Amino acid sequence: MNTGKGLSSQDIVRLNREYTLFSWSVQSTVAPIPAVGGEGAYFWDADGKRYLDFSSQLMNLNIGHQHPKVIKAIQEQAATLCYAHPGFATEPRGLLGEKIAQVAPGNLKKTFFCLGGAEANENAIKIARLFTGRHKILSRYRSYHGATHGAIALTGDPRRLSAEPAISGVVHFLDPHCYRCPFGWTKQACHRECITHVEEILQYEGPDRVAAVIMEGVTGSNGIIVPPDDYWPRLREICTRYGILLISDEVMSGWGRTGKWFAVDHWNVVPDMITTAKGITAGYVPLGAVIVSEPIAAFFEDKMLWCGLTYSGHPLACAAGVATLEVYEEDNLIENARAVGARLGARLEQIKVSHISVGDVRYIGLFSVVELVSDRESKAPIPAGVMKEVGASLKEQGLFTYMMASPQGSMVFVVPPLCITLEQLEEGLRSVEKALLISDQHVAEK
């Protein structure tokens, strides 16, 4: 097991803490894992402690750590051509564009490459406004679309607030969150006001002024909110009726994560654009993409595309992307996401029954969350202090995952690499159940 180049775990943490800034953190509270290596569904720290990766790092390492095919592709491209002017044509750029067109739904054909999900959403805003001649963009409150100036405006969750005022013209609407229905319904009595509400807002805003509606294929870091089956199809109908572009942000939910190439494939919906990143290279090299329909691509044949980046079409990133997409197919990872995901869903339902602190479980493929509550009737979230103890238990057991503790909900995410086996899944879920005894005790003592 390679544990790095000689620095101790203490020195690695000290250098990082002293000379670098950590995102979304009060810097004095940061206690990072000194990661030095990984393989498949596991990684390890400088002390040799192994962790099961239950959130694919940041929901991006879909193919697992250190896949030899992608490493080889990066090495070979680095030895050939590390960088090229974004106006140049390169082999990996062309091959990746072709492959994306083959797996993207419907008539989505051409891709504009960037370096991440936020950049993809920034450029999608530009493209939508140029194509339609309209200004307004609608997005949801329980959403995250990135931290740059335009993407954070699209974002509906509280991370947006510190960046305001951001770009103009963004209007938010409520979510299809069945567990915490903002309209007060239950699944049994649902009137689909989460859909009619969108059309009502369009009428208030002027549908002829709205360029696009952007939504995550399945809401990611705000709690894995899987919409009702008619939600995406009916939003597609509404957008088509008013000449509004429909954009699916598949940064987290794309590339096999839900058991399909893209989340919208579950509902046979073809958006006008897909924005994506993360799983396109599994994070091995930064890469983002805006995939556009043939009509949008044709529009820019004789009009200026006012989008440009120094690293657009980066050869090294595109080579990694080609290899990563081949890994999804050759290793049957999307099929594995469906098969292991079915077992995951069944086990999460068992966990919900067995643990009194579990209010809800939500899942699609290998994209899932356990939501913890202090009281199932009121659905009050488990306090942040208790969540910290749950997280400490997971870490002690050698399990790493993304967690959230906020007034919007307290959650433990289960988003492992698509290469995970049933045995590894069960190993991780046993750790989760042991940690949930802490939150169960909190509920019992109330």
How far, rounded to the nearest angstrom, does the alpha carbon of residue 322 sit from its chain's CA centroid?
20
**Residue 238: pLDDT above 90?**
yes
38, containing H or E segment: strand 35-39
DSSP annotation of 198 reads H
Q: How far is CA 324 from CA 93, 203, 405, in A?
A: 14, 43, 33
Tokens of 204: 């208030």
Q: Sheet harboring 136-140: ordered strands across? A: 108-114, 288-293, 273-276, 245-249, 210-216, 136-140, 170-173
Superfamily of domain covering 9-63+332-444:
Aspartate Aminotransferase, domain 1 (3.90.1150.10)
Give residue 100's pLDDT: 98
Evaluate whether 416 touches 55 at the Cβ level (below 8 Å).
yes
pLDDT band, residue 6 (cuts 50/70/90): confident
| Domain 69-330 -> CATH class | alpha beta
The 10s digit of each residue's pLDDT in 127-168 is 999 999 999 999 999 999 999 999 999 999 999 998 889 999
Label each residue of 101-149 as H, E or C: HHHCCCCEEEEEEECCHHHHHHHHHHHHHHHHCCCEEEEECCCCCCCCH
pLDDT band, residue 352 (cuts 50/70/90): very high
**Residue 2: pLDDT above 90?**
no
- In this prediction, residues 89-99 reach a mean pLDDT of 98
Q: Where are the domains of the chain?
A: 9-63+332-444, 69-330
pLDDT band, residue 1 (cuts 50/70/90): low
- Strand 170-173 to 136-140 pairing: parallel
Q: Tell me the percentage of the chain whose pLDDT exceeds 90.
A: 95
35, containing H or E segment: strand 35-39
- Residue type present at position 417: P
DSSP annotation of 228 reads P
- In this prediction, residues 106-117 reach a mean pLDDT of 98
